[in-house]
Chains A and B, each alone.
Chain A
């Protein structure tokens, strides 16, 4: 390939990617516009909270418990090396509340509900249900997208909190029941080291993950290409892009707040 060709190819790819980013941004702005300028569809929001949130509870509790347990095992192993076992409680709690609770629960919900969201909206697109709404002068953003975003923003922090709570309990089971720490040490030290700031950070993260996941998954479904294959691709991409963005965004938030 000639140098000019390379430059042209790079330029074209860059332009396409920037245009693509703009498209994502526009979708989010349109959704937020309708979120703030028109009355909310409460019934749809409740349905979606049930779909995104309530139905993810079991899986979040299960993964939360085991995450807390393995975290306690690992932390105990490390702390034991310099005789700091008494700090097991705060170590587990801080890791869960600040990082693992929001992040892992968001990843789990993305896998369970985000993918379903993308494929459901994708199918509505390819079977012309979204077109039908438009012809009836019903705004599909208001009816489909906004309820999902609101539901995710409500559900994610709650699920993240569940995850952390059950994780701390899992850490208690391992640390106190199995490794023989006293319950007083496990919980007592926790209150000494845990700040409101830490909890706030967990909540901020969960809120932003809720927005990211609902945004990406709705976008991918809404602009799916045609056919079963199109919807399949949209679903896969929705999960991959959401998960990657969760981790990247997590790093940024942590680095700003620390």
Chain B
């Protein structure tokens, strides 16, 4: 279970999170939506302790991640898989070595076992032919899928996806969503998907949360949210230029 309670964060006076409260229960998949630049990536990084909150607590199964050091922090980090928005692939390593990296560093598997796992993951992403390439030689979408393969290969119990389908064509995008859903059903990880891929993503998540002006203004199941007729959410979904959200 992941709990954020009253999380505040600002960068040089620019308030990004203003008292966020959010609870995600074990095995749940949540979609986090919101406008560009509103702080979705920042929120995700708080959960893994990459960014420290100015105030408030982040609890993973009741443990405050910002109080952990050394071995304990390492132990909890091993439970996370994190897909960075920009991939964050190691540019000095090939796709294969990137995906193999966590296995080599954090497990004592033999090189054959690693090879098997890596190729299994790469095949799921449709990248088995590109294993020997370096990140710089890949297209944006391929990079994203390679990063996804690296995030998933350790079969983490908490998966945080920062825009898994941005930059992919609709067909690959759908297949990635299906794959995430299948993994979720099979492995039962707890997951957060940050995405602009609405409404498509709604079919693979249990709940939807919308971040706006530093707060979660809306959270619930799709049916529940639709009934609320929140003008911000409705405009966000329709992409209408007229409404409470303005282009700025």
Asked whether A135 lies within 8 Å of B82 as measured between CB atoms, the reply is yes
Asked whether A127 lies within 8 Å of B106 as measured between CB atoms, the reply is no
Q: Cβ of B84: which chain A residues have Cβ within 8 Å of it?
A: 128, 131-132
Say yes or no: is B183 at the interface (Cβ < 8 Å to chain A): no
**A134 interface neighbour in B77, B86, B105, Cβ under 8 Å:** B77
CB within 8 Å of B: which of A132-159? 132, 134-138, 143
CB within 8 Å of A: which of B92-142? 101-102, 105-106
From A132, which residue of chain B is reached at the shortest CB distance?
B88
**A132 interface neighbour in B74, B75, B82, Cβ under 8 Å:** B82
Q: How far is the CB of A68 from chain B (nearest CB, A)?
A: 36
Say yes or no: is A129 at the interface (Cβ < 8 Å to chain B): yes
Residues of B bordering A, CB below 8 Å: 45, 48, 50, 73-75, 77-78, 80, 82, 84, 86, 88-91, 101-102, 105-106, 154
| 3 closest cross-chain pairs (CB), A and B | A128-B88, A132-B88, A137-B77
Asked whether A127 lies within 8 Å of B105 as measured between CB atoms, the reply is no
From B48, which residue of chain A is reached at the shortest CB distance?
A135
Q: Cβ of B91: which chain A residues have Cβ within 8 Å of it?
A: 123-124, 127, 129
Q: Complex formed: what's the CA distance from A128 to B84 in Å? A: 8
Q: Complex formed: what's the CA distance from A135 to B154 in Å? A: 12
Q: Cβ of B88: which chain A residues have Cβ within 8 Å of it?
A: 127-129, 131-132
Beyond the given pairs A128-B84, A132-B88, A137-B75, 10 more chain A to chain B contacts, judged by CB atoms under 8 angstroms and listed by A's residue number, are A123-B91, A129-B89, A132-B82, A132-B90, A135-B48, A135-B80, A136-B77, A136-B105, A138-B105, A138-B106
Can you list 23 residue pairs at the A/B interface with Cβ under 8 Å?
A124-B91, A127-B86, A127-B88, A128-B88, A129-B90, A131-B45, A131-B84, A132-B82, A135-B48, A135-B50, A135-B77, A135-B80, A136-B77, A136-B105, A137-B73, A137-B74, A137-B75, A137-B77, A137-B106, A138-B101, A138-B102, A138-B105, A143-B105
Asked whether B86 lies within 8 Å of A137 as measured between CB atoms, the reply is no
Q: Cβ of A124: which chain B residues have Cβ within 8 Å of it?
A: 90-91
From B154, which residue of chain A is reached at the shortest CB distance?
A136
Q: Cβ of B50: which chain A residues have Cβ within 8 Å of it?
A: 131, 134-135
Q: Cβ of B106: which chain A residues have Cβ within 8 Å of it?
A: 136-138
Asked whether A136 lies within 8 Å of B86 as measured between CB atoms, the reply is no
Q: How far is the CB of A159 from chain B (nearest CB, A)?
A: 23
Q: How far is the CB of A171 from chain B (nearest CB, A)?
A: 40
Q: Cβ of A128: which chain B residues have Cβ within 8 Å of it?
A: 84, 86, 88
Q: Cβ of B86: which chain A residues have Cβ within 8 Å of it?
A: 127-128
Q: Cβ of A143: which chain B residues have Cβ within 8 Å of it?
A: 105
Q: How far is the CB of B77 from chain A (nearest CB, A)?
A: 4
Q: Cβ of B77: which chain A residues have Cβ within 8 Å of it?
A: 134-137
Q: Complex formed: what's the CA distance from A143 to B75 in Å? A: 18
Q: Cβ of B105: which chain A residues have Cβ within 8 Å of it?
A: 136, 138, 143
From B50, which residue of chain A is reached at the shortest CB distance?
A131
From B82, which residue of chain A is reached at the shortest CB distance?
A135
Q: Cβ of B73: which chain A residues have Cβ within 8 Å of it?
A: 137
**B101 interface neighbour in A123, A134, A136, Cβ under 8 Å:** A136
Q: Cβ of B45: which chain A residues have Cβ within 8 Å of it?
A: 131
Q: Complex formed: what's the CA distance from A190 to B137 in Å? A: 55
> Which of A129, A135, A143 neighbours the largest number of chain B CB atoms within 10 Å of its CB?
A135
Q: Cβ of A127: which chain B residues have Cβ within 8 Å of it?
A: 86, 88, 91
Q: Cβ of A138: which chain B residues have Cβ within 8 Å of it?
A: 101-102, 105-106
Interface residues as binary, A114-128 with B (CB distance below 8 Å gives 1, 0 otherwise) = 000000000110011
Q: How far is the CB of B69 from chain A (nearest CB, A)?
A: 12
Asked whether B90 lies within 8 Å of A136 as measured between CB atoms, the reply is no
Q: Cβ of B74: which chain A residues have Cβ within 8 Å of it?
A: 137
Q: Complex formed: what's the CA distance from A138 to B45 in Å? A: 17
Q: How far is the CB of A22 from chain B (nearest CB, A)?
A: 20
Q: Complex formed: what's the CA distance from A137 to B107 in Å? A: 12
From A136, which residue of chain B is reached at the shortest CB distance?
B102
Q: Cβ of B78: which chain A residues have Cβ within 8 Å of it?
A: 137
Q: Complex formed: what's the CA distance from A128 to B41 in Å? A: 12
Q: Cβ of B80: which chain A residues have Cβ within 8 Å of it?
A: 135
From A142, which residue of chain B is reached at the shortest CB distance?
B105
Q: Cβ of A131: which chain B residues have Cβ within 8 Å of it?
A: 45, 50, 84, 88
From B147, which residue of chain A is reached at the shortest CB distance?
A132
Q: Complex formed: what's the CA distance from A131 to B106 in Å? A: 16
From A139, which residue of chain B is reached at the shortest CB distance?
B74
Q: Complex formed: what's the CA distance from A127 to B89 in Å? A: 8
